[in-house]
Structure 1
Amino acid sequence: MEKVKLLSCHQVYTLKRKTLEKRIKNYYFQTRDEQDTIQFLIALQVRDELGKEDFSFVLRDLVRKIFLESKPTRALRSYYIFFKDYFTLKEWRVLSIRLFPVKTFVKEKIEKLYTRFFKMPLKGLVGS
Structure 2
Amino acid sequence: MQIQPLSFRQLFNLKPKTLETRITNFYQATQNSSVTIQYILTLKVRNQLGATEFDHFLKDLVRELFMNTKATRTMKRFFHYFEDYFMAPEWQTLSSKIVPQSVTPQRTFGEKVVSKVRSLFSLAHPEETNEP
Corresponding residue for residue 74 of structure 2: 75
- Report the counterpart of residue 28 of structure 1 in structure 2: 27
- Paired residue for 2:39? 40
Deviation at 1:30, TM superposition (A): 0.7
TM-score where L is the length of structure 2? 0.74
In 2: Cα distance, 1:29 partner to 1:82 partner: 23
Gaps of 5+ in 2: 106-132
CA shift digits 1:84-128 (9 cap, x unpaired): 000000000110111134448x98xxxxxxxxxxxxxxxxxxxxx
Paired positions, count: 105
Partner of 1:18 in structure 2? 17
Gaps of 5+ in 1: 108-128
Q: What secondary structure is seen at the aligned counterpart in 2 of 1:71?
A: coil
The one-letter code of the counterpart of 1:81 is H
Q: 1:15 to 1:91 in 2, by over 3 A?
A: same
Distance in 2 of aligned mates of 1:102 and 1:52: 36
Larger Rg: 1
Residue 49 (structure 1) shift: 1.0
Runs of 4+ in structure 1 displaced over 6 angstroms?
none
Change (3 A) 1:5 1:98: same
1:53 deviates by 4.2
Secondary structure of residue in 2 paired with 1:54: helix
Mapped partners of 1:46, 1:59: distance in 2: 14
The match for 2:7 is 8
Identity of aligned residues (%): 39
The aligned residue for residue 87 of structure 2 is 88
CA RMSD of aligned residues (A): 1.7
Secondary structure of 2:20's match? helix
Write out per-residue CA displacement over residues 11-56 of structure 1, whole angstroms, 9 at most, x where no aligned residue. Answer: 1001000100010000001101111101100110111111344200
